Amino acid sequence: MNNLNFTFPQKVKTFCFALMAVGFISIIASFAVDTPSVADAHYHHTRAWANILIGSFFFMAVGLGAAFFMGLQYAAEAGWATSVKRITEAVSWFLPWGLSLMMLMFILGHFGVHNLYAFFDKDVIEHDVKVQEKMGYFGAFWWARTILYMAGWLYFTHKLRQNSVDADHVSDNSHHWKNVKLGAWFMVLFAVTSSTASWDWVMSLDIHWFSTLFGWYVFSGMWVSAIICITLIVVYLRKLGYLDFVTESTIHDLGKWMFAISFLWTYLYFAQFLLYWYADIPEEVIYFQQRWENYKALMWTMFFINFTFPMIMLMSRDSKRNFWFLTFVGFVILAGHYLDVIVMVMPATVGTHWTGLSWMEIGPFLGFLGLFIFVVFTNLTKRPLAVKNHPFMDEALHHSV
């Protein structure tokens, strides 16, 4: 193992700032041009705000997915991914940034700066009996839950990472066993809060609609996105000459995860669709009707990229061992899951004013991507790229499939 101290290449840093500048400018510009073609009293730069929410949520979810993956490895006592553990840790620590952005959006919504969430909008509440009935769930209780999710996730992610670093300086395995316990408890918390947070933060955009499966559908999307980000960073760092101790089999296994979780996503997406399609109850099927009528092309593209594309591209062993190919497929699926979040948020907010995918979506995506890469790579420079004294490290170094 050599070259354990990552230095942030200046070129990449410049690239990140360029992306952030593009994002910033396009967000400002979209506020200037974003007006509905048909007059609508409830439309206040909704598309521009929705794009900020989408970017914040997507990359927050990537961080959260990585934190979940980290906890999962401990709870399952799995050893194969120990050699890429520091990458997972770095990705997971985008979480404070992502959650801050989400919190900012909630506070702005609470004070009526944007009206993405109907339960923040006094005008809507006044005229909608169904929303009034739900206010017990959405008022102060909603804020209490939001704060609980954020505090809980940050606490566990921070603790898991801190113990991992502290373990580098001691000779026994005590920190590892602490993390096994923490990981198991985090799984319990995450199982509940990942679902409820998806309801509270994303599903609540469609204030009248509900689906208990929605949380798992969002969760599988965030999980596969996190796996892709970890894989892409590992492949990139190896190209730069780091991570020579990560075996090809480990990356092959990450590719298998990409493949498998893409199917989990498809399974959940289709399960949700099938039940609503079959029952055909107006208040339930409205969710898919909105998407079918105004977002048909986007919905089919998103479904094709997230299901058919990985199925065909990642089925064979050779495709997962060709890292250029894996990188290409990873980027495409990552974009596919961003589209998925767009299809979740846009019909509920912009609705019929949608005019098709444009620079107003792509610009903010690039901006948030720049921020994400910048934060994650900065995190990577702060710690050695390999863990010391981890009881499963030896297993990971000899991993072979």
Partner 1 sequence: MAGTVTKKVIHGVYDDEVPLLEACKKLGKAGIKIKDVFTPFPIHGIDPIVGVPRTRLAICAFLYGLTGCGLATLMMWYMMVSDWPIDIGGKPNWSYVYNIPAFIPITFEATIFCAGHGMALTFLLRCMLIPGARPKNPDPRTTNDKFLIYLELTEDQTSQADGILRSAGASEVNYKGIVTEKLAY
Interface residue with partner 1 among 37, 171, 280, 324 (CB under 8 A) is: 280
Q: Which stretch binds partner 1 (CB under 8 A): 41-49, 66-74, 205-213, 278-286?
A: 278-286
Q: Contact between 185 and partner 1 (CB under 8 A)?
A: no
As measured in angstroms, the least distance from the Cβ of 314 to partner 1 is 13
3-state SS string over 239-297?
HCCCCCCCCHHHHHHHHHHHHHHHHHHHHHHHHHHHHHHHHCCHHHHHHHHHHHHHCHH
Integer angstrom CA distances of residue 39 from 36, 291, 334, 357: 6, 21, 35, 21
CA distance 68 to 197: 14
Q: Which stretch binds partner 1 (CB under 8 A): 21-29, 37-45, 188-196, 275-283?
A: 275-283
In the complex with partner 1, the residue whose CB is nearer, 17 or 277, is 277
Integer angstrom CA distances of residue 288 from 42, 274, 280, 335, 348: 22, 11, 10, 22, 11
Helix axes 323-349, 282-294, angle to 10 degrees: 120
Q: Which stretch binds partner 1 (CB under 8 A): 75-83, 87-95, 267-275, 340-348?
A: 267-275
In the complex with partner 1, the residue whose CB is nearer, 199 or 270, is 270
Q: Contact between 400 and partner 1 (CB under 8 A)?
A: yes
CA distance 114 to 124: 13
For 344, how many CA atoms within 13 A lie in the half-sphere containing its CB? 26
- How many residues touch partner 1 under the rule CB under 8 A: the total is 11
Q: Contact between 171 and partner 1 (CB under 8 A)?
A: no
Contact 45, 114 (CB under 8 A): yes
Integer angstrom CA distances of residue 382 from 34, 89, 126, 376: 41, 11, 51, 10
Q: Contact between 279 and partner 1 (CB under 8 A)?
A: yes
Tokens of 328: 């290409």
Site for partner 1 in 294-333 (CB under 8 A): 316-317
As measured in angstroms, the least distance from the Cβ of 385 to partner 1 is 25
Q: Contact between 278 and partner 1 (CB under 8 A)?
A: yes
As measured in angstroms, the least distance from the Cβ of 400 to partner 1 is 4
Interface residue with partner 1 among 104, 188, 274, 312 (CB under 8 A) is: 274
Nearest in space to 214 (alpha carbons), one of 296, 266, 260, 269: 269
In the complex with partner 1, the residue whose CB is nearer, 2 or 400, is 400
Q: Contact between 282 and partner 1 (CB under 8 A)?
A: no
In the complex with partner 1, the residue whose CB is nearer, 278 or 324, is 278
Binding site for partner 1 (CB under 8 A): 270, 273-274, 277-280, 316-317, 400-401
